[in-house]
Amino acid sequence: MPQDTLHTNNKAAAQNTYDAIVIGSGISGGWAAKELTEKGLKTLMLERGRPFEHVKDYVSASKNPWEFEHRGRATQEQKHKRPIISRPWAMYGTAANEPIMDYWANEEDCPYVEVKPFTWWRSYQMGGRSILWGRQSYRLSDFDFEANAKDGIAVDWPIRYKEIAPWYDYVEKFAGISGSRNGLQHLPDGNYLPPMDLNCVEKDVAARINSQFKNRHMIIGRTANLTAEIPNRTKCQFRNRCWEGCPFGGYFSTQSSTLPAAEKTGRLTVRPYSIVTKIIYDKDSKKAKGVEVLDAETNKTYEYYSKIVFVNASALNSAWVLMNSATDIWPEGLGSSSGELGHNVMDHHYMLGAQGVVEGYEDKYYYGRRANGFYITRFANLYGDKRNFLRGYGYQGGASRQGWSRDVAELSIGADFKEALTEPGGWTIGATGFGEILPYHENKISLDKNKKDKWGLPVLAMDAELKQNELEMRKDIVKELVAMFEAAGVKQITTWDDKNYAIGQGIHEMGTARMGKDPKTSVLNKWNQVWDAKNVFLTDGAFMTSAACQNPSLTYMAMTARAADYAVNELKKGTL
């Protein structure tokens, strides 16, 4: 009977209706869920991958080294399942190793097209890359927010530091960032837990660099590892195995931090295995009605409805969701009216640096495994410094005593060799650069409709590359690090600049739905609202108008909290 059908549909619709939907459960999605639920919104968080429970699912995290069959090395079988991240040069950071290989996305099910080389590090499970991230947490400054306007590059950021500063304060306090306050205008101080120590060698090298170079500062890294207790969390235990998931909750992740907060409100529903195929756009109200979800396990399609949608699927996938939405109105997707959706792909320079030997300090050692290092803050093109390229870079590194895997040239095998290796070797120091890549309209991602993933969905085609400014900067990054190391007395310096580096490998994808002041040249406004659908907010790396050179996740957290606050206020006012 028609009436029954209508009744059932209404009931189903009511069951599938929330105040807010959050697409993605990583760093920014977790923050969106926390903020929206705490502000009273009944919220549905959609995660395309498997559930991944705090502590319980960190199956390797408490094993001793000898309990790993391959002692941490990825097997050929693991590599064959994930050939992209197993590329030899991609394995630089040992991010693809035995215990965590399955944390990364299944590459056979989820292919993409490399028009130009692009190593894409995806984690499709609850918490996303918040489990695997590097945890370095730096603020952007007005040098960054003003850079595009001053250089006449791309478009101006629609915000300035003072608008985001209180939100940095807010998220730092909750996430728990340890660091030192250094009074640097280009790297504003935050709301920090006590800093970790530099070790003896790092302290001396820092003092030499700081005294011999103007405006150069080597400081302890600012990291989302707890150096003091904060509510419901345990301090960092200095095991340096964060990426396996921390059984102590010693670093910020969705699971350790934002998810429990959101769940505590009683207003959060989490749905795993939920691939959002599109945002449902209503052309009469010019707003989103909800989202369409493909269940990754059953292949069934569902619709969920809400007053607002937060898009936090990670920079490239958030753009993918928009590109697949409202295509009857805009062939290139929701938010494409500016012609900038999917464009301006950015990342950070990586896979280049230098290392050397520090003589002496044989009577010094350290205790504990510090999941952090030093940071040399940006100096290029600041305070009157001028280079043959725009923008700047920083370095992250560490000094340590060599372990058993060092070569002992004079002792080849046998008892003396063994005994020598049971003691620590000499000190070495090394660092890698993280540099800013400019936004170029022609660096883009797009839908490749000829290639489909496991679920028959179109996949992304990556078409981005370094240009002259980037290549000049890479040379300078290596050159200046050598100069600083030399001045600090480091010996036997060797350098590397891996020619296989391509955008993506820094794992800091940004820019594919940039913010701006003008709907004609940007996808989002200053509140992270999609210009073309004001109840759709996008607050992951896609919003970045420029990349700066700081590790970006902290900025996503702050902007997410700010956007959620705005969204809830607007909802209350009835303007959304």
Partner 1 sequence: MNRREALSTVALILGGTIVGANAFLEGCTPADKKTTPEAGGAITFSNDDIAYLDEIAETIIPATSTPGAKAAKVGTFMTVMVKDCYTDDDQKTFMNGMKQINEESKKKFNKTFMEADAKQRTELLTELDKQTRQSMANEKPGDPKPYFRLMKELTLLGYFTSEVGATQALRYVAVPGRYEGCIPYKKGDKAWATA
Q: In the range 401-420, which residues lie near partner 1 by CB under 8 A? A: 401-407, 409, 412-415, 417-419
Encoded one letter per residue, x for contact with partner 1 by CB under 8 A and - for no contact, window 270-309 reads ----------------------------------------
Measured distance CA(388)–CA(395) in Å, rounded: 19
**Binding region for partner 1 (CB under 8 A) out of 157-165, 191-199, 269-277, 380-388:** 191-199
Geometric angle at alpha carbon 568, from 565 and 569, rounded to 5°: 85
- Residues 72, 111, 117, 519: which binds partner 1 (CB under 8 A)? 72
Residues 338-397 interacting with partner 1 (rule: CB under 8 A): 353, 355, 357, 362-373, 375, 396-397
**Smallest distance from the beta carbon of 371 to partner 1, in angstroms?**
6
* C-beta closer to partner 1: residue 135 or 378: 135
- Total residues found in the chain within this entry: 576
Kindly give, in sequence order, each residue whose CB lies less than 8 Å from that of residue 5, ignoring residues fewer than 6 positions away: none
What type of residue is 512? T
Q: Is the dihedral of CA 242, 244, 248, 252 positive or negative?
A: positive
* C-beta closer to partner 1: residue 158 or 506: 506
Under rule CB under 8 A, how many of the chain's residues touch partner 1? 95
Measured distance CA(146)–CA(158) in Å, rounded: 10
* C-beta closer to partner 1: residue 362 or 518: 362
* C-beta closer to partner 1: residue 14 or 413: 413
The neighbour count for residue 542, using CB atoms within 10 Å, is: 34
Calculate helix-pair angle for 553-573, 27-38, nearest 10 degrees. Answer: 30
**Smallest distance from the beta carbon of 27 to partner 1, in angstroms?**
12
Residues 498-517 interacting with partner 1 (rule: CB under 8 A): 498, 507
Residue 454 binds partner 1, judged by CB under 8 A: no
Q: Three-class SS of residue 356? A: strand
**Smallest distance from the beta carbon of 241 to partner 1, in angstroms?**
9
* C-beta closer to partner 1: residue 153 or 478: 478
For residues 358 and 490, the answer to whether their CB atoms sit within 8 Å is yes
* C-beta closer to partner 1: residue 46 or 219: 219
Residues 114-133 interacting with partner 1 (rule: CB under 8 A): 133
**Smallest distance from the beta carbon of 549 to partner 1, in angstroms?**
12
Residues 200-259 interacting with partner 1 (rule: CB under 8 A): 200, 202-203, 221, 223, 237-240, 242-243
Extract the tokens encoding 274.
Answer: 């939920």
**Smallest distance from the beta carbon of 17 to partner 1, in angstroms?**
39
Measured distance CA(490)–CA(434) in Å, rounded: 21
The neighbour count for residue 16, using CB atoms within 10 Å, is: 15
For residues 484 and 374, the answer to whether their CB atoms sit within 8 Å is no
Q: Three-class SS of residue 56? A: coil
**Smallest distance from the beta carbon of 553 to partner 1, in angstroms?**
9
Kindly give, in sequence order, each residue whose CB lies less than 8 Å from that of residue 416, ignoring residues fewer than 6 positions away: none
Residues 134-173 interacting with partner 1 (rule: CB under 8 A): 134-136
Residues 88-107 interacting with partner 1 (rule: CB under 8 A): 88-89, 91-95, 97-98
For residues 252 and 223, the answer to whether their CB atoms sit within 8 Å is no
Residues 428-447 interacting with partner 1 (rule: CB under 8 A): 428-432, 434
Half-sphere exposure of 303 (CA within 13 A, CB side): 12
* C-beta closer to partner 1: residue 69 or 328: 69
Residues 46-65 interacting with partner 1 (rule: CB under 8 A): 64-65
Closest CA to 216 of 53, 36, 377, 88: 377
Do the bridges between strand 458-463 and strand 113-114 make them parallel or antiparallel, or are there none, so unpaired?
parallel
**Binding region for partner 1 (CB under 8 A) out of 33-41, 190-198, 482-490, 512-520:** 190-198
